[in-house]
Amino acid sequence: MSEIKPKSTFKVTIDNITIDVAPGTSILTAARQIGGDVTPPAMCYYSKLEGSGGKCRTCLVEVSKGSEKDPRPMPKLVASCRTGVMDGMEVKNITSDKVKDARAGVVEFLLLNHPLDCPICDQAGECHLQDLGYSHGKEGTRYEFKRRTFEKEDIGPYIQLHMTRCILCYRCTYVADQLTDTRVHGILDRGDHAEISTYISKAIDNDFSGNMIDVCPVGALTDKTFRFKNRVWFTKPVDANRNCENPKCCGKATLWLRGADVYRVTARKDEWGEVQSYDSKPGWICNTCRFDKKKTSDWIIEGPTTINRHSVISQGHYEGMVMPTETIQKVMGGREPKLLMDIHDESGVNLSKK
C-alpha cells in the first residue's frame, strides 16, 4: 500500500463538468470557477463579506453524491454558497428538476412582496433581482394580496433606504460590521415584517458606509447624490483612479459619465456583480471618493469599463461592436425582397430603393 497523502485538490463534478478545486472551497465558488450556466445565482452571498450567504436560498443545488468516501446523496437541497466541496462530490444544478422547481419557488417568494417599481427605481439595469427574475422567474404572479410596504426612514445624508424593495440579504449589515467602526443599523422585527433600520433614526455616517449601496442586490439602498438623476444605461462607465488619502480606500473606481459630468461613482464590479479584488483585497472605496469627487478633474481616467454585453448598460455603448451582416440577399437567392401584398405598382416602402 502506498502512503496516503492528504489531497491538495478536490475533484468536484457540477452538472457533469469536473473541476479540481482547493479543499474548503464552497460549491458556489467551484461553480464560479467553471462559469457559465452551471453557476447558481446568488442574491445574499457575497464572497468578500465573511459570514454572508445561506439566506436567500436561490443558490440551492442538489448533491447527488456526497463524496468519494461517502457516496450517499444529501437528503435535502443545500445552499451551495455555504456548503463546502468534498472530494468526488457530484452536484446537480441546472440538470436537476428538483433544483429548478425550488429555485422558481424562491424567485416567486422573493418577488412576492417586492414592489416591482423598476421603472422608477435607480437600481434598474443593474439589479440582481431583476436579472434573477428574467432568468429564473415566471411571468405573472399568483399572489393576490396587498404587498407589504414600509414607512420611509431617513438613514443619513448619502444613502436612501427603500425598505419596501429589500429582500433581507443582510449584506449591508455585514458591510457595517466588517468595514466600518460601528454598526448603527440592523434588522428589526422578524418574519415578513422584518426591516432594515437604525432604530433611533441615527444617521449612518461612516467613511465606508457607501459600500452598502454597492453590495445591495436590489434598489433598497441607493445613492442619494445620484437619485433620480439618470438611468444607468444612459451613463457611460469609465474606469478611473485617484490617489485617495484614506489608507483603507483602494482609490480605484468606476465613474458613470454623461457627457463630461460625473453622475455617480461606484466601486469596480467583477463579473458576479461583486467588488473587484486587487491583490486579493476587495477594492472598497471611501465615501469621499464616492460622494464628493464628482468632477473628472478629480480622477485619472483609465478607459472605458468592460460591460457584459448581456447587460442593459451595454446598450448605449458601441465600442468594439460588430454590426451583423445582412443575410436577406443570401436567403432570397439574390432576389430583391418583395412586399407580401403588393397591390400597388410602386410600393411606398420600397420607393427609396429605386
Partner 1 sequence: MSRKLLLEKEHVENIRLYDVYRREGGYRSVEKALKSMSPETIVEEVKKSGLRGRGGAGFPAGLKWSFIAKPEGVPRHLVVNADESEPGTFKDRYLMEFIPHILIEGMIVTSFALGSNVSYIYIRGEYAWIVDILQQAIQEAKNNGFLGKNILGTGFDCEIYVHRGAGAYICGEETALIESLEGKRGNPRIKPPFPAIEGVWKRPTVVNNVETIAALVPIINDGGDEYAKIGIGKSTGTKLISACGNINKPGVYEIDMTISVEEFIYSDEWCGGIKNGKKLKACIPGGSSVPILPANLLLTTAKGEKRLMNYESLADGGFATGSMMGSGGFIVLDEDQCIVRNTYSLARFYRHESCGQCSPCREGTGWMEKILLNIENGKGKISDIDLLWDIQRKIEGNTICPLGDAAAWPVAAAIRHFREEFEWHVNNPIECLTRNFGVGHYADPIHIPELV
Instruction: Give contact residues for partner 1 (rule: CB under 8 A).
Output: 53-57, 60, 76-77, 79, 82, 101-102, 105-106, 108-110, 112-113, 142-143, 145, 148, 167-168, 170, 186-187, 189-194
CB of 144 to partner 1, least distance (A): 8
C-beta separation of 250 from 283 below 8 A? yes
Give 240's strand partners.
Answer: 253, 301
- Rg of the chain (C-alpha set): 24
- What do you get for the CA distance between the two ends of the chain, in Å? 85
- Whose Cβ is closer to partner 1: residue 95's or residue 113's? 113
- Of 11, 21, 143, the closest CA to residue 90 belongs to 11
- Whose Cβ is closer to partner 1: residue 109's or residue 150's? 109
Alpha carbons within 13 angstroms on the beta-carbon side of residue 114 total 24
CB of 83 to partner 1, least distance (A): 9
- Whose Cβ is closer to partner 1: residue 79's or residue 238's? 79
CB of 51 to partner 1, least distance (A): 9
Helix extents (H) in 211-266 = 211-215
CB of 201 to partner 1, least distance (A): 20
- Whose Cβ is closer to partner 1: residue 58's or residue 266's? 58
CB of 101 to partner 1, least distance (A): 8
- Whose Cβ is closer to partner 1: residue 89's or residue 250's? 89
**How, if at all, do strands 281-282 and 159-161 pair?**
unpaired
C-beta separation of 48 from 274 below 8 A? yes
- Of 104, 114, 126, 112, the closest CA to residue 58 belongs to 104
- Whose Cβ is closer to partner 1: residue 27's or residue 257's? 27
CB of 148 to partner 1, least distance (A): 8
- Of 167, 152, 158, 284, the closest CA to residue 227 belongs to 158
C-beta separation of 165 from 114 below 8 A? yes
- Whose Cβ is closer to partner 1: residue 134's or residue 143's? 143
C-beta separation of 127 from 137 below 8 A? no
CB of 23 to partner 1, least distance (A): 15
Q: Cβ neighbours of residue 82 under 8 Å, at least 6 residues apart?
A: 26, 45, 53, 54
CB of 191 to partner 1, least distance (A): 4
CB of 100 to partner 1, least distance (A): 12
- Whose Cβ is closer to partner 1: residue 101's or residue 319's? 101
How far apart are the C-alpha atoms of 78 and 82, rounded to whole Å? 8
Burial of 174 (0-12, 13-18, 19+ CB in 10 A): buried
How far apart are the C-alpha atoms of 178 and 200, rounded to whole Å? 22
Give 204's strand partners.
Answer: none
- Whose Cβ is closer to partner 1: residue 79's or residue 286's? 79
